[in-house]
Structure 1
Amino acid sequence: MRRIAAVLLGLMFCVAAHAHVQPGDTPPDALGTTQDGRAVTVSSLHGKVVVVSFWATWCGYCMKEMPVLANLQSLATQRGLPLQVVTVNYREDRRVFVNAVRALRPRLPGLLMTWDRDGALGRPYGSDKGIPVMVMLRRDGTVAHVHVGYGEDMLDTLVGEINELLAGTAATSAAGNAGGSL
């Protein structure tokens, strides 16, 4: 009987070690480093709705998604909305990441682009199973939504979820700012 209990306990630890973040969870704090080596964390972005997208230059869907995210970031910035899009380069060589940022930055302004050297940062989000992975965080840093994959048919849903999160931030804002949407 004890042996069975020990095996079950061991299995529970294995499953827990491979569980991915779910809505309501507090995600890991690290979101990678920028091209210039600055660490980006979830806690440093508290107070904003955060959209995190794991991508790579070889991922066609990722490269289709990035201009859409840049447009959302630009629109939010123009409207003064508390949104930050963080795109995390997944498991590519640092040289590839730096060159990609240099090439993409002029076309994708406003995106906070970071690097996940070995995939460890993306693993809790399920990026080891495939990318792109998009995670939306509430203003308090907890997970609101997790999306795996990308398709243009998802756009209305994604914008709706972001608008709901922005409306929620306006309702809880200490300054009482009027709500806004994308």
Structure 2
Amino acid sequence: MSKSIISAAIVLLALSIVIVNIYKLSPTERTKETANSSTEESVVVNENINQDGQLSVQEGSPAPDFELTTLDGDTVKLSDYKGKKVILNFWASWCPPCVAEMPHMQQFYEDNKENDIEIVAVNLTSLDKGMSEIKKFVDENNLSFTIPLDKDGTIGIQYETFSIPTSYIIDSNGIIIKKIVGPMNEAMMEDLTKNID
């Protein structure tokens, strides 16, 4: 019985997200998006500025810049990677799909770091189980790419990480090419990055 309640709650949450996103669209965009909703996985809001006055994170728009401290104590900005393709990933150590995805990300990073492709894996620190668990996760998976810490959760909110993992493929000009909700494997990462500048 508890499984059916959880299933119902998940379905209601998903429907709520879709309804909120459709409501944000103008009537013309709403009609267009509703017609396409059966073939698309997510609704795209066609605005450059969201209601909080921040840059939107829609495909085709510049990726909003941010500055965070990494697990190693360095300060990084997303704009530091301009001129390279970037997989911007949002994750937490307790998330089973994130656990499944990370070995693929590490292998992809090792195979492509000389090809001007970077992985910036933002840990949603405000939602995670503490620094010791994050460090343990990184060590156990031998992760060597950049891991910024979103300690107050603002970057995760700005990048609309309603579920994790969520990733953005960003081209060398800093433009968001694709948003992916859910885990990726090496083949998918290769396919998503091979035809962009």
Q: Is TM (by shorter chain) over 0.5?
A: yes
Query: How far did residue 95 of structure 1 move?
Result: 7.8
Identity of matched residues, %: 24
Alignment match, 2:18: none
Alignment match, 1:160: 191
Alignment match, 1:61: 97
SS in structure 1 at match of 2:51: helix
Contact 2:108–2:189 (Cα < 8 Å) also in 1: no
1:16 aligns with 2:50: yes
CA-to-partner distance for each residue in 1:7-57, whole Å, 9 max, x for gaps? Answer: x9xxxx9x9327851111112211521123322112111111110110011
Contact 1:50–1:85 (Cα < 8 Å) also in 2: yes
TM-score (norm 1): 0.70
Match of 1:114 among 140, 148, 152: 148
TM-score (norm 2): 0.65
Alignment match, 2:182: 149
Gaps of 5+ in 2: 1-25, 27-46
Q: Give the whole-Å Cα distance in 1 for the aligned partners of 2:116 and 2:85.
A: 6
Letter of the 2:183 partner, please give it.
Y
Cα RMSD, aligned residues only: 2.7
| Matching of residues 72-83 of structure 1 within 5 Å | 72-77=108-113, 80-83=114-117
Alignment match, 1:176: none
SS in structure 1 at match of 2:154: coil
Instruction: Please identify runs of 4+ aligned residues in structure 1 that moved more than 4 A.
Output: none
Letter of the 1:114 partner, please give it.
P
1:86 aligns with 2:120: yes
Q: Give the whole-Å Cα distance in 2 for the aligned partners of 1:74 and 1:103.
A: 18
